[in-house]
Structure 1
Amino acid sequence: MLCCALFMPVALSADATPGQAFASGWQSYQQQGNSLILSSPQGKVSLEYISRDSIYVHYQAKGVKQLPGYLLDEKRLDEKRQIGSKGAEQEFNLSVKATDKGLTFSSGTSAVVVQKSPFKLSFFHQGQLKLEEELGYLAGENSQEFRFKLSPREKLFAGGERVLGMDRRGFNLPLYNKADYAYEGRSEQMNYSLPGLMSSDKYILMFDNTARGSLDLGAAEKDVLHFAAGGGRSAYLVAMSDSFSGLTEHYTYASGRQPMPPIWALGNIASRFGYRSEVQAREVVAEYRKQQMPLDAIIFDLYWFGPDIKGHMGNLDWDRNTFPTAEQMVKDFDDMGIKTILISEPFVLTTSKNWQSGAEAGAFSLDEQGKARTFDFYFGHTSLVDIFSAAGQNWFWPFYQKQLDWGIAGFWGDLGEPEVHPADSYHFIQESGQKASADEIHNVYGHEWAKLLFNNFNRVSKDQRPFIMMRSGFAGSQRYGMIPWTGDVSRTWSALKAQVELSLQMGLLGLGYTHSDLGGFVASESFDSELYLRWLQYGAFQPVFRPHAQDEQLPEPVFHGEEVAARVKAALSWRYQLLPYNYTLVYENHSKGTPLMRPVFFEAGDKAISDKMFLDTQGYYWGPNLLVLPVTEPGVTALDYQLPAGNWFDYFTGKAYSGGQKGGKQTIPVDLDTIPVLVKGGAIIPHAPDMQNTREYSGDELIVHYWFDASVGESGFQLYQDDGLSRDYQQGDYTKLDLTAKAADQQLNFTIALAGDSKALSADKQLTLVVHNAPHFKEVYLAGKRLNTSYDQNSRQLKLALTFDGKPLTLSFR
């Protein structure tokens, strides 16, 4: 134990109340495992290393209410804490050094410097200052506030879902999850806000506060970041790194990693608002099969429990008049490899057959008199499930258990902001035994809903992975398998353009599966087939492919004529053939937190990053090797774009382009059949044969595409495979193939081998190696034996068939 005296003068905001902030001084500090606790008569501050480069800070002033924290992955951290104090010190290489000016709490790679007077915390990584408090923590009677310094050129990716441009610096962002119906090219407040940011200076700052608040990113004061909330928890997490990929890895280690969804979640999902009968749903599936368009799942919106939009919410059972043999329908779809997903909402109308039982069970939020709070909203007179209380959870889950008994494969939670949440309603927080107002916990409602579904699904479905789609949550909701979407977007070109920014912003802060209603949700006066097509072509390279819309203009591509259907079918073919690559991105997200969609700056080296890259939403990386340029305006015949450094190849035509400043802007031709997709020189991208359903994919037949580039030298890709459905991957039941290329002028060595942590192959893999941009090699050898190859002079493609039995293969091209 280490002790010293520290003085902490109080710094109060204009409305802060003396006595609620720290007013006298520190008397002692004590190291406990990976934490440092600073104590004074006014309270304490704890600094906890979650990893070597992420620190959780919690100010606890006496007399100031503290709600539970929801940001950290407490299950994982509790397991780590079992190591004990000595184990934590050894794992993180922790040390505390005191001086006359304060002290330094260090992990070797990162450090928190505690300044005595005026008291403030500063955060360093590899000796470089990343972030420092300005006035630090301020406590008012009903407020929690923090102030940090901003460096002059710093750019901030912040606040979650909003359409403001990539750099949110200079904005004051409201922190309150709120639907923005029919938004287009700008939106300041949407369904999923995040109380924090990623900085171009390579740190993430996330506040563990669920209350209604604001995040001022230099709007009121140019170089000051000011967080304010009406209560909640006075805590935050800082993650630091020397790379953006390292940054997301540290942040998601602390806040939780996304479990791997079932592989069918990467397929085509039929969805609309909504399928009004069993007959209609069967007809839609039949049309997909008739046109031989791939399909993996179908989602039922609110008509599954009632014939009208209003008056039926909370029934949570099939409307047997319109779905007379619903369970058989679900089974029939499943026999085809098509999974069924049902919508639900947390609102239970007083006219519902379930309201009385919920009220008697104490399952709803309460009014000031302790009775079930009822109120009016669009769908009727209602109560709201208290998702925080044991009574609410125990009453709500059996409805989902019944769905699983029917064979339902996934859950869709809608309106979970909650869309209407009266400020004078109250919830009971089971974990802490506290009563909390709606405004104190509003932003974490969807998070706790997802947690309820995730934990119970895993408890009762031992051999399946949950699919949980929701439009609202909190920082860290990814650890409960949440798949968010970007709300009720209009069908306009500006709305399409906004989708890239929305997914990139969310992915940087952990929510890697954020996607849009493809084609646009809100019906327009007339159907714009070009807009629809461009949206779905973009959708082939976003995390979830799910056309969804109001049914005045049907969202399914099978109902828009042969020309549109053929082009969408081609886009789906791209997506399904990329399944081995895409599924590897899923694993990378699960294991490291790396987003599937990545801003251009995310993949560029430090020296190559320009200010323009930080602002770019015209293009993005899909995984490490594909650069996608969505077409977001009508009538486009060419796109001008400054490619990142290196050599690039058109994914569809093979045409070569030069990147970097020397190459200048490249003009990329565009037609209606494709959108521009560029492959990085040296890339290795495994493909699968075309398919109608992910159930056809085994991974035993692969086409490995490699884009030869002598200037790159060595490149590689580690292909990940498992059964795609069970949770056995968590016990190491998977296969990884290391695909490595070493290229030089007129020479190539290509190696295929099992990674060290892979299980043995259950069957030989039949591989076709396709070398793009290939020189006309004179000979190819495998283990000293010359092989026959096929070379096309016009396309500059070389093809070679191989059998891989698990033993390393090294091919030599000369």
Structure 2
Amino acid sequence: MKSIYYLLTCVLILSVSCKSQSYEKTASGIKTTIDSTVVEVRFYTPGIVRIIKSLPGETVEKKSLSVVKEAETVPLNVTESDSTISLLSDVLTVKVNTRTGAVSYLSANGDALLTEKAGSTAFTRFNDAGNETYSVKQSFTLDPNEAIYGLGILQNGKMSQRNQKVHMVQNNTCDFSTFFQSVKGYGLFWDNYSPTDFTDNEAGTEFASEVGDCIDYYFMYGKNADGVVAEMRDLTGKVPMFPLWTYGFWQSRERYKTQDETVGVVEKYRELGVPLDGIIQDWQYWGDNYHWNGMSFLNPGFPEPQKFVDDVHNLNAHLIISIWASFGPETPQYKELKEKNMLMDFQTWPQSGKDIWPPDMNYPSGVQVYDAFNPEARDIYWEYLDKGLFSLGIDGWWMDSTEPDHLDFKPKDFDNKTYLGSFRKVRNAFPLETVGGVYDHQRQVSSDKRVFILTRSGFAGQQRYGCNVWSGDLGSSWDSFRSQIPAGLNFTLTGNPNFNSDIGGFFAGAYNKSWSDGTAAKNPLFQELYVRWLQYGVFTPMMRSHGTDMKREIYYFGKQGEPVYDAIANAINLRYSLLPYIYTTSWDVASNNSSFMRALVMDFPADKKVWDMNSEYMFGQSLLVAPVMNAQYTPEKIVKVDEASGWNKGNAKTKEGFPAVDFTEVKSSPVYLPEGTAWYDFWTNEKFDGGQEIAKETTINTTPVYVKAGAILPIGPKVQYATEKKWDNLEIRIYEGADGEFTLYEDENDNYNYEKGVYSTITFKWNDADKTLTIGRRNGEFPGMLTERTFNIVLASKDKTKGNEIVSQPDKAVTYSGDEVVVKL
């Protein structure tokens, strides 16, 4: 009997021992094998967990291109039941089903967040340019009514990205990040750079990538949208600050053909008194296509490069210049990279050596894209950029075609070898690497000038590289325009806060078929679209006018006193008046992981009416922007117009032959005001309750903008460029109805001293019950800081408005020297 008891005891001990060894504890989680799949769970923080799945016997050594964070030491409680291994941190529970291998995620209080679909993990053998590897996919189960956001810059017009299939290969007008976040407060980053399909339908939500040695993804629980953005930036990199001047107005064109023409544009803006901070020099300053991207001024129209840069600077403006990820065969860069086997062989722009359209392929250009994944190639790229352009004092880089352009695609093109394997394997991370190469090198050689890069493509993690991504060469149409709000908001929700678009759309040829270039900007169909796009551009991180087919400078649209000209000038001036607010928001983005363009769901998640709203957003924490996104005065459809007849033969016409339009006629645009707060009309100070749709009266000179109750809004001086005047006489507007707080940020406006704490902040607090404003003690200091100034305090009210302007009637003028001041209003 004793022997039987002993035997049973041994079996029980052996059973318990076997169960305890069904997984292996690691430094940051566990590793186990389930159903012929190795599953590893690694906690990076209490709210961020990495899942790696591979096949037994495979060696997986992957260094992420996007992720820069090292795993922290996270206290975990690991338990096992009959069919589940559970890992609990302070904020997140991860459960691994030991029968199916499916991983599920719950909040600390047990709320279900996301679950892998059982049996959906898939490895399919794939030959990648001679390397035996796998195609990989994983599906998840979402709640039926769960809204998700992200995936990058898409031109589908959608806010929530449910119920669609997206083929992710970087291209001109779509920038893909394999990341989405949910209204439930979690995010998922699929860490793969090969061509990937995202599919969401009744069967599940799936990522499927063409190449992957393993399945590798990160789940993060931030509890809300800002929290998820913060965790994505913690994982893939923080956002550095841009200089103050980058937030002014930028004028560009495809293209200015001489240095005198470029400088002349800045001179004309100064003559007209219209603010301008930046001018952009587009391509062909290097000469012909065989010298493509030579990073030197070989074009006879630019005979004195240093004088060119100096002339722009002497007008208190800044210059950025076009550079590409490819080189023509007559450039020294091409020859050096070719010798070292650091070029890729596929068709890219431009295809012909002749600067004509369509390209004449009897004269192939020979332009090739360089291997941006190779650190030595990135060194070579910067060496020539530094010597040829940065040494002249050029202020920033317009990195065009960073997808890169891939024309006449053939599957074998993906077999091109890169430093990290086939081009197929790393395709979507090309913009991350090429932009990162320029940022890292400039940071190494200079701390006096902040890196500023305007680029056409982006990927997860690129926010750490001082770049603003624009949405590509869009056609000029109302549909394209309407797509920009959800495109920018979804990009922001991937963790990338810096977005802009070509104001007016790039290809405007449909508006320019019947008139010479000098009068095309007076076409009322284009005028209405351009003005509305410009007004939207006021409330994006970069306000930049650019396009081809017609000139976009303000003086081509008319003259002062005419409705369209005045609407353009007023929009630009509005941008400059908001610079203290915008620059403070930039600091908030860099230091507190905030966002410029904020989908309404970020601030009003309880209001389900905003979950899928694609026509309004918050700009910073205080301003709700509802741009006029539909034509009110002209047909949206581009119709054939000739100078003799206008749209219809019966229409009245201007002297240029265009139909006459009264842009001062009052129209109406619908605006939804989210619930949970009261709102003030920015222009009239009229107050509205949230949770309702209202009709805003508009003319061509009106952008519907509303201010949240409790907001404290600084208004800057009237200037011609961002740093023309100090902020020693700011207007501080108080919007009653709730307590509020605003911290004004100031620094030297450029350089990286702010990273060392060389800046100051002043916090304003509004107590709505007591009607008191407390201006807190100034924290910090920097060279050139104002030690004494005046704040003009204004309580928003209807009697302080006249038309579309706030009448300067401060309730109190407060002298401030850095000590706390309490103002009773």
TM range (shorter): 0.7 to 0.9
Does 2:101 align with 1:119?
Answer: yes
What's the offset of the Cα at 1:575? 0.9
1:657 maps to amino acid: F
Q: Deviations over 1:465-511 (max 9, x none)?
A: 10111111211111112210011111112211111111111011112
Equivalent position to 1:383, from 346, 368, 382: 368
Does 2:808 align with 1:801?
Answer: no
Equivalent position to 2:431, from 446, 455, 475: 446
Q: Which moved more, 1:160-169 or 1:282-291?
A: 160-169
Aligned to 2:293: 314
Equivalent position to 1:658, from 679, 682, 689: 689
Q: Deviations over 1:32-51 (max 9, x none)?
A: 1x444446896744323233
Aligned to 1:225: 205
Aligned to 1:640: 670
Larger radius of gyration: 2
1: CA distance, partners of 2:267 / 2:779: 45
2: CA distance, partners of 1:5 / 1:724: 64
Alignment of 1:364-763 (within 5 A): 364-365=343-344, 380-402=365-387, 403-420=389-406, 423-424=412-413, 434=420, 436-523=421-508, 524-526=510-512, 527=523, 528-550=526-548, 552-562=549-559, 563=562, 564-604=564-604, 606-607=605-606, 609-610=607-608, 612-635=609-632, 637-645=667-675, 646-660=677-691, 664-709=692-737, 712=738, 714-744=739-769, 747-754=770-777, 763=787
Aligned to 2:338: 359
Q: Deviations over 1:280-301 (max 9, x none)?
A: 1121111111111111111111
Alignment of 1:6-17 (within 5 A): none
Residue aligned with 2:50, SS: strand
Q: 1:64 to 1:174 in 2, by over 3 A?
A: farther
Give 5+ residue unaligned stretches, structure 2: 1-14, 127-134, 353-358, 513-522, 634-666, 801-805
1:586 maps to amino acid: S
Root-mean-square deviation (Å): 2.8
Residue aligned with 1:642, SS: strand
Q: 1:644 to 1:758 in 2, by over 3 A?
A: farther
Q: Is the 8 A contact 1:152 1:223 kept in 2?
A: no
1: CA distance, partners of 2:244 / 2:810: 31
What's the offset of the Cα at 1:765? 2.6
Q: 1:62 to 1:617 in 2, by over 3 A?
A: same
Equivalent position to 1:50, from 36, 44, 59: 44
2:396 maps to amino acid: G
1:363 maps to amino acid: M
Q: 1:748 to 1:217 in 2, by over 3 A?
A: same
Q: Is the 8 A contact 1:151 1:223 kept in 2?
A: no
Q: 1:717 to 1:289 in 2, by over 3 A?
A: same
1: CA distance, partners of 2:222 / 2:154: 26
Does 2:759 align with 1:764?
Answer: no
What's the offset of the Cα at 1:633? 1.6
Q: 1:293 to 1:4 in 2, by over 3 A?
A: farther
2:493 maps to amino acid: L
Residue aligned with 2:137, SS: strand
1:120 maps to amino acid: A
Q: Is the 8 A contact 1:447 1:473 kept in 2?
A: yes
Does 2:25 align with 1:30?
Answer: yes
Q: Is the 8 A contact 1:191 1:417 kept in 2?
A: no
Q: Is the 8 A contact 1:418 1:442 kept in 2?
A: no
Q: Is the 8 A contact 2:748 2:782 kept in 1?
A: no
What's the offset of the Cα at 1:163? 2.6
Q: 1:426 to 1:409 in 2, by over 3 A?
A: farther
2: CA distance, partners of 1:588 / 1:346: 32
Q: Is the 8 A contact 2:198 2:207 kept in 1?
A: yes
Does 2:275 align with 1:294?
Answer: yes
Aligned to 1:109: 91
Residue aligned with 2:252, SS: strand
Q: 1:65 to 1:332 in 2, by over 3 A?
A: farther
Residue aligned with 1:529, SS: helix
Q: Which moved more, 1:477-486 or 1:127-136?
A: 127-136
Residue aligned with 1:380, SS: coil
Q: Is the 8 A contact 1:626 1:677 kept in 2?
A: yes
2:688 maps to amino acid: Y
1: CA distance, partners of 2:418 / 2:49: 26
What's the offset of the Cα at 1:681? 1.6
What's the offset of the Cα at 1:426? 5.2
What's the offset of the Cα at 1:675? 0.9
Q: Is the 8 A contact 1:44 1:60 kept in 2?
A: yes
Q: Is the 8 A contact 1:365 1:384 kept in 2?
A: yes
2:696 maps to amino acid: I
Q: 1:725 to 1:485 in 2, by over 3 A?
A: same
Aligned to 1:334: 313
Q: Is the 8 A contact 1:771 1:797 kept in 2?
A: no
Equivalent position to 1:237, from 205, 213, 218: 218
1: CA distance, partners of 2:768 / 2:338: 69
Does 2:217 align with 1:207?
Answer: no
Q: 1:797 to 1:699 in 2, by over 3 A?
A: closer
Residue aligned with 1:272, SS: coil
Q: 1:567 to 1:447 in 2, by over 3 A?
A: same
2:766 maps to amino acid: A
Q: Deviations over 1:747-792 (max 9, x none)?
A: 401100136677796512321111113999xxxxxxxxxxxxxxxx
2: CA distance, partners of 1:655 / 1:583: 27
Q: Is the 8 A contact 1:194 1:474 kept in 2?
A: yes
What's the offset of the Cα at 1:598? 1.0
1:227 maps to amino acid: F
2: CA distance, partners of 1:675 / 1:26: 65
1:47 maps to amino acid: V
1:396 maps to amino acid: Y
What's the offset of the Cα at 1:408? 1.1
2: CA distance, partners of 1:336 / 1:286: 7
Q: Percent identity?
A: 24
Q: 1:576 to 1:775 in 2, by over 3 A?
A: closer
What's the offset of the Cα at 1:572? 1.3
Aligned to 2:136: 144
Q: Is the 8 A contact 2:77 2:88 kept in 1?
A: yes
What's the offset of the Cα at 1:353? 5.3
Aligned residues: 729
2: CA distance, partners of 1:315 / 1:493: 37
Does 2:80 align with 1:98?
Answer: yes
Aligned to 2:660: none
Equivalent position to 1:194, from 167, 177, 189: 177
Does 2:368 align with 1:344?
Answer: no
Q: Is the 8 A contact 2:601 2:610 kept in 1?
A: yes
Q: Is the 8 A contact 1:73 1:479 kept in 2?
A: no
Aligned to 1:252: 233
Q: 1:5 to 1:540 in 2, by over 3 A?
A: farther
What's the offset of the Cα at 1:245? 1.6
Q: 1:197 to 1:534 in 2, by over 3 A?
A: same
